[in-house]
Amino acid sequence: MKLTVWTYEGPPHVGAMRVATAMKGLHFVLHAPQGDTYADLLFTMIERRNHRPPVSYTTFQARDLGADTATLFKTSCQDAVDRFQPEAIIVGASCTAELIQDDPAGLAETMGINIPVIPLELPSYSRKENFGADETFYQIVKALAKPQERTARVTCNILGPTALGFRARDDVEELTGLLSEMGVDVNVVAPLNATPSDIACLPAAHFNVLLSPETGEAAARWLEKNHEQPYTKIVPIGVGATRDFIAEVAAITGLPCKPDESRLRMPWWSRSVDSTYLTGKRVFIFGDGTHVAAHARIARDEMGFEVVGIGCYNREMARPIRALAKEYGVDALISDDYLEVEAAIEKLSPEMILGTQMERHIGKRLGIPCAVISAPVHVQDFPARYSPQVGFEGANVIFDTLIHPLVMGLEEHLLTMFRDDFEFHDDAGPSHHGGKAKAKVEVEEPPQPVDDNVIWLSDAEKELKKIPFFVRGKARRNTETFALEKGLHEISLDTLYEAKAHYAR
């Protein structure tokens, strides 16, 4: 038993729903009690989908238990097949149905349904949403993909994008364009917008592009093993990763891949002098493993930030994220407990967070700007405009996303120069965000004793408050560390400036 307030991932059957809802001509019969239908609103509200997810819930109630929930399942299954006439159905159980052990797979098999019936094992008490999506897609591919000849032209499949994916819609479009410039046609995109007959055609492609490892890796591995289709290991998020991805595709296909870079503005935007203020900004990165890995590279190599911590909530990606953390010289935080993530952020006091909607709220509480880079998603993560993360346009979009929450260059200087201005001060927040500026309130706080009995004397404490909020945490920590190293028990104004000189760069 584990107490949870907020979760990064839903249960595995929600992952299965993400695959079913992404596809066309497929129906999901889910053995589940009433109430589990809440999951429909994730798709119709958060993603603004204009269709109900293709899911039939058996909706059993207490009085059905011990009576005949199995018949209820069979009736729902038959009704779904008759009413929606899908090309194939997937069948599974939610957490409660798993406990009553009706065996939806076995029941569906005995019904003589004349379309493919794909049973799912979705262990609700040990696994989560991403596993559910990955496993469901893998089972569908395994059941439906047919051996066949390769296409005459060089083609690939794009694997992994699902419903409720982080910018999946636009990533598919951007990636398709990029591949086309390289002379590679897309055979099938799956699961997003694929039909069961499209899935059957997957083996016609020469290779696979794995866009979302979280939800497509099991299928990609199976296709590699059983249909000799290599798959790409690099997710093209960021300038460097996109160029590496192009080289990877060139190596797989033997094509001279030289896509047009004229739309790529990002490297210049980062090099231009206005971006100087980004240098060395301390960032904490948290989300799903794929986006975190991509953003660690973007943050350090393309934005010039200092990465002070990275982590992911999906345990499946623990190993690569730990390895990456080692390379960056930081500790990896592998956790789906948001209180633990909050504690880590509070301790590191970064100047910026690249995270999920959860970290956005943590940032709001701690007064740290946050850019959202990963699922779990919110209605805001489905913008009306074209807003991919992958490829060259994705790199442009990410540059904008990462600087938007920050106080901009000259504004930052002005805040530093005129620290005591009553209107234009830290608590007012970045001026391009709107909202009513708060008037400055002077509060006299006694110096706070910190760990190991280092005491802030009052002028040092007062001076510390004049330092803009976005660097104050760092200044406080540096000064305290400096004092401890020098064996000082009190921090005076001089200690503060000695520490500043010590850490100058």
Partner 1 sequence: MNVPLPPTNGGCRSAPILKERGQREVFCGLTGIIWLHRKMQDAFFLVVGSRTCAHLLQSAAGVMIFAEPRFGTAILEEQDLAGMKDAHEELDREVARLLARRPDIRQLFLVGSCPSEVIKIDLARAAERLSQVHAPHVRVLNYSGSGIETTFTEGEDACLASMVPVLKDTTARELLVVGALPDVVEDQMLGLLAEMGIGPVRLLPARRIDDTTAVGPNTVFALTQPFLGETHAALERRGARHLQAPFPFGDEGTTAWLRVIATEFGVSEETFEAVTAAPRARARKAIAQASEALRGKSVFFFPDSQLEIPLARFLTRECGMTAIEVGSPYVHDALHGPDLDLLPAGPQIAEGQDVDKQLDRARAARPDLTVCGLGLANPLEAEGLSTKWAIELVFTPVHFYEQAGDLAGLFSRPLRRKAVLQLEAAE
Q: Which is nearer to partner 1, 285 or 362 (CB)?
A: 362
Residues near partner 1 (CB under 8 A), total: 57
Amino acid at 424: F
Let me know: does 161 contact 172? Beta carbons within 8 Å: yes
Q: Residue 334: enclosing H or E segment and its boundaries?
A: strand 332-334
**How wide is the angle at C-alpha 425 spanned by C-alphas 420 and 426, nearest 5°?**
125
Any bridge partners for residue 117, and if so which?
Answer: 89
Number of residues in the chain: 505
In the complex with partner 1, the residue whose CB is nearer, 174 or 381, is 381
Distance, C-alpha 505 to centroid of its chain: 33
Tokens 């007064």 sit on residue: 367
* Dist. CA 20–CA 162, nearest whole Å: 9
- From 95-103, 399-407, 460-468, 480-488, give the range in contact with partner 1 by CB under 8 A: 95-103
The single residue listed with the structure tokens 């939806």 is 104
Q: According to CB under 8 A, which one of 21, 94, 139, 208 is a site residue for partner 1?
A: 94
Which of residues 83, 153, 271, 347 is near partner 1 by CB under 8 A?
Answer: 83
Query: Can you say whether the dihedral through the CA atoms of 402, 383, 47, 144 is positive or negative?
Result: negative
375, 161 Cβ separation under 8 angstroms = no
Nearer to partner 1, 79 or 485 (CB): 79
First CA to last CA distance, the chain? 49
Q: Which is nearer to partner 1, 15 or 238 (CB)?
A: 15
**Beta strand extents in 125-270 (DSSP E only):** 155-159, 185-190, 207-210
Is 126 one of the binding residues for partner 1 (CB under 8 A)?
yes
x-or-dash string of contact with partner 1, 339-378, rule CB under 8 A: ------------------xx--xx-xx-------------
User: Looking at the annotation, which residues are catalytic?
Assistant: 274
Angle between helices 168-181 and 391-403 in degrees, nearest 10: 140
Chain-centre distance of CA 94, in angstroms?
A: 24
Q: Please select the residue that binds partner 1; options are 22, 23, 26, 42, rule is CB under 8 A.
A: 42
Tell me how far, at minimum, the Cβ of 46 lies from partner 1, in Å. Answer: 8
- Element containing residue 118 per DSSP (H, E): strand 117-119
**Cα atoms in the Cβ-side hemisphere of radius 13 Å centred on 159:** 35
Query: Closest approach of Cβ 309 to partner 1, in Å?
Result: 21
Binding pattern for the stretch 217-256 against partner 1, x by CB under 8 A and - elsewhere = ----------------------------------------
CB-nearer residue toward partner 1: 42 or 117: 42
Which span (39-47, 148-156, 277-285, 466-474) binds partner 1, by CB under 8 A?
A: 39-47
Question: Minimum Å distance from CB 121 to partner 1?
Answer: 14
Among 18, 24, 40, 406, binds partner 1 (CB under 8 A): 40
* Residue 90: closest CA among 160, 17, 38, 37: 17
Rg of the chain in Å (alpha carbons): 26
| Closest separation in Å from C-beta 492 to partner 1 | 37
**β-pair type (332-334, 155-159):** unpaired
Least Å from the CB of residue 161 to partner 1: 21
Which part of the chain contacts partner 1 (CB under 8 A), choosing from 120-128, 157-165, 403-411, 487-495?
A: 120-128
CB of 396 within 8 A of CB of 265? yes
Residue 28 in contact with partner 1, rule: CB under 8 A: no
* 391: region left, alpha or beta (phi > 0 left; psi from -120 to 50 alpha): left
Determine the interface stretch with partner 1 among 4-12, 207-215, 219-227, 305-313 (rule: CB under 8 A): 4-12
Given the complex with partner 1, which of 23 and 249 has the nearer CB atom?
23
69/229 with CB nearer partner 1: 69
Helix (H, G, I), strand (E, B) or coil at 284: strand
Q: Distance from CA of residue 63 to its chain's centroid?
A: 41
- Asked if residue 385 binds partner 1 (CB under 8 A), the reply is no
Which region, judged by CB under 8 A, interacts with partner 1, from 30-38, 161-169, 185-193, 326-334? Answer: 30-38
3-class SS string, 442-459:
CCCCCCCCCHHHCEECHH
Q: Which of 24, 70, 78, 95 binds partner 1 (CB under 8 A)?
A: 95
Stretch that binds partner 1, among 91-99, 108-116, 180-188, 305-313 (CB under 8 A): 91-99
Take residue 312 and report the two structure tokens written for it.
């992911």
Smallest distance from the beta carbon of 54 to partner 1, in angstroms? 11
Site string for partner 1, 50-79 (x = CB under 8 A): xxx---xxxxxxx-xx----------x--x
Q: What is the binding site for partner 1 (CB under 8 A)?
A: 1-7, 9-11, 13-14, 33-42, 44-45, 48-52, 56-62, 64-65, 76, 79, 83, 94-96, 99-100, 123-126, 128, 357-358, 361-362, 364-365
